[in-house]
Structure 1
Amino acid sequence: MTLLNVISALFLLAGAGFCLAGTVGVLRFPDVYCRLHALTKVDNLGLGLVVVGLALEAGSWATALKLFLVWFFVLISSAFTCQLIARAALRRGVGAWGGSRES
């Protein structure tokens, strides 16, 4: 096992750890806004670490570039999706910590 394989494995394990933390946050946080934060921030960092780990093991620059493009598109779609869900929750009157928002 080379040094590059070890570094790649460390990135992959760190990414898996961040994804696990984001999943626990989605399951444990009390309201939709905290859950969105856990989902978009932690899982995007986790996916970024996984992509870096996979890019280190990629056979070519083209494959690594495709991996980074996938990560970029996930970041963009995650930001839009988070904003749309938060806006829908606000319009329905969902307040922080599960309470209702007074208009």
Structure 2
Amino acid sequence: MILDVVSAVLMLVGAVSCVLGAIGLVRLPDLPSRLQAATKPQTLGLLLILAGTALRLEMESAVTLVLVALFQVITAPVISQLLGRTAYRGGSVHPEHLVVDELAGRMPEEMDR
């Protein structure tokens, strides 16, 4: 009984995190903010859902969910970094929206906007 409640709470909190990330993806004004909303809450939500699901499965099946979680944690930040840098190079990121522009001095001159 307690395991069912803990599993349900983890899955519900994970689902809420995913929904909040999706709302942020639609509502936030600029690309870096949207990348943040697409990466962090979605990853946290998926991890919570996988944890809630793993509590209900046998150990052999739960190991597969651990591999899925590990793959998500490794790939989501890398993809977000690549998309953000590509958008910056392409001119989609407006400098007036940035508090600190760490890439300004590191970009090749032919890439300057």
Name the TM-score, length of structure 1 as normaliser. 0.88
User: Which structure has the greater CA radius of gyration?
Assistant: 2
Unaligned runs of 5+ in 2: 98-103, 105-111
Which residue type is aligned with residue 78 of structure 1? A
Gaps of 5+ in 1: none
Q: CA RMSD of the aligned region, Å? A: 2.0
Aligned length: 100
2 CA distance for matches of 1:85 and 1:24?
20
Q: Matches of 1:27 and 1:82 in 2, distance apart? A: 16
Q: Distance in 1 between matches of 2:77 and 2:47?
A: 15
Paired with 1:44 and 1:8, the residues of 2 have a C-alpha distance of 18
Cα distance change of structure 1 residues 65 and 96 upon mapping to structure 2, 3 Å threshold:
farther
Which letter maps to 2:53?
A: L
Answer yes or no: is 1:95 the counterpart of 2:93.
yes
Cα distance in 1 for partners of 2:94, 2:6 equals: 40
Sequence identity percentage: 37
- The correspondence of residues 3-82 of structure 1 with structure 2, limited to 5 A, is 3-58=2-57, 60-82=58-80
| Structure number with higher helix proportion | 1
The 2-side partners of 1:97 and 1:62 are apart by: 49
Query: Aligned in 2, Cα 1:10/1:86: closer, same or farther, shift over 3 Å?
Result: same
Query: CA 1:49/1:96 → structure 2, altered by over 3 Å: closer, same or farther?
Result: farther
Q: TM-score, normalised by structure 2?
A: 0.81
Tell me which stretches of 4 or more aligned residues in structure 1 moved more than 3 Å. Answer: 96-99
